[in-house]
C-alpha cells in the first residue's frame, strides 16, 4: 500500500531523534537507510519536488499524481545516497588524519615526513568535504539556523604532541555530525519542529569540522 506523504503545510517539520552517538567511526551501511521513512520527509519532498517535470495534483488516483510522487521518491533516494557517500568520505579523511598523527612522533624521519604529507592531504580533504556536505544539506534544511559559536583553538606545542587534543576534537565533531545526519536522513524514528532544536545542529558540527581541520593544517 502506498504511503500518503505529508503536504507542504508541515514544512517546518523535519525528522529527528535524540538517540545517543555510537562510538567510533564504523562506516554507515547503506542497508541501514530506511528509505520508506525518509521518503516521507516533508522538507525533502517539498524542496526536491521544485523541478519536477510533472504538475502538482491533489488527485491521488490521477496518473499525474502518481508520476510526480514516484519522481520525487527517486529524487529523495538520490539525495540520501549522495549524503551517505559524502559522509562516508568525510569520515574516511578524518580517520586518515588520525592515523597520520600517530606517526608524527616516529623515530624514522622518513615516516615522520610521510605522516606529515598524509596528514596535510587528509585535512585538506576533510575541510573541503565537510564544507561540501554542509552546503548540500543547507540547501534542503533552509530553515535550520546556524547559531553555533564554537571556539577553535590549537594548543601550544600541539604538533610535538601529535595534535592529539585537536584530532580528538575533530573526530568528536565528525561523530556528532554523523549522529544528526543519521537521525534525520538515514534512520528517522519520529518528527519534531525545527524550533525545538536548541543546541548545535548538523550544520554547526560540520562547520566545526571544517574549522578544526583548517586550524590544524595551518599549524603544519
Terminal alpha carbon distance of the chain: 57
* pLDDT tens track for 125-164: 999 999 999 999 999 888 777 766 788 888 888 877 889 9
Average pLDDT over residues 97-103: 92
Mean pLDDT of the chain: 81
Q: Find the helix or strand (DSSP H, E) in which 28 lies.
A: none
Q: Is the separation of the CB atoms in 42 and 10 below 8 Å?
A: yes
pTM of the model: 0.79
| Per-residue pLDDT at 189 | 63
More confident residue, 38 or 151: 38
More confident residue, 218 or 145: 218
| Per-residue pLDDT at 31 | 62
Q: Which band of pLDDT confidence, cut at 50, 70 and 90, is reported for residue 190?
A: low
* pLDDT tens track for 55-85: 888 888 898 899 999 999 999 999 999 999 9
- What does each C-alpha distance from 149 to 22, 192, 207 come to in angstroms? 24, 24, 10
Q: Residue 143: phi, psi to the nearest 5?
A: -95, 0
Give the cell for residue 17: 531523534
| Per-residue pLDDT at 194 | 54
Q: Which band of pLDDT confidence, cut at 50, 70 and 90, is reported for residue 214?
A: very high
More confident residue, 218 or 146: 218
| Per-residue pLDDT at 155 | 80
Q: Which band of pLDDT confidence, cut at 50, 70 and 90, is reported for residue 198?
A: low
Instruction: Please list, in sequence order, all residues whose beta carbon lies within 8 angstroms of the beta carbon of residue 166, skipping any fewer than 6 positions away.
Output: 154, 155, 158, 212, 215, 216
Q: Which band of pLDDT confidence, cut at 50, 70 and 90, is reported for residue 210?
A: very high
Amino acid at each position: 500500500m502506498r504511503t500518503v506523504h505529508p503536504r507542504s503545510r508541515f514544512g517546518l517539520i523535519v525528522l529527528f531523534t535524540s538517540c545517543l552517538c555510537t562510538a567510533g567511526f564504523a562506516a554507515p551501511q547503506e542497508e541501514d537507510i530506511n528509505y520508506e521513512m525518509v521518503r516521507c520527509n516533508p522538507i525533502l519532498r517539498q524542496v526536491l519536488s521544485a523541478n519536477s517535470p510533472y504538475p502538482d495534483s491533489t488527485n491521488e488516483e490521477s496518473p499525474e499524481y502518481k508520476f510526480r510522487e514516484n519522481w520525487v521518491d527517486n529524487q529523495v533516494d538520490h539525495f540520501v545516497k549522495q549524503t551517505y557517500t559524502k559522509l562516508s568520505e568525510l569520515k574516511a579523511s578524518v580517520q586518515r588524519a588520525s592515523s597520520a598523527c600517530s606517526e608524527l612522533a616516529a623515530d624514522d624521519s622518513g615516516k615522520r615526513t610521510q605522516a606529515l604529507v598524509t596528514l596535510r592531504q587528509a585535512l585538506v580533504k576533510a575541510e573541503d568535504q565537510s564544507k561540501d556536505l554542509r552546503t548540500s544539506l543547507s540547501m534542503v534544511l533552509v530553515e535550520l539556523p546556524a547559531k553555533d559559536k564554537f571556539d577553535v583553538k590549537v594548543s601550544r606545542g600541539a604538533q610535538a604532541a601529535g595534535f592529539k587534543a585537536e584530532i580528538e576534537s575533530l573526530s568528536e565533531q565528525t561523530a556528532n555530525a554523523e549522529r544528526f545526519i543519521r537521525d534525520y536522513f538515514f534512520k528517522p524514528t519520529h518528527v519534531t519542529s525545527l524550533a525545538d532544536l536548541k543546541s548545535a545542529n548538523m550544520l554547526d558540527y560540520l562547520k566545526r569540522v571544517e574549522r578544526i581541520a583548517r586550524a590544524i593544517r595551518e599549524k603544519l
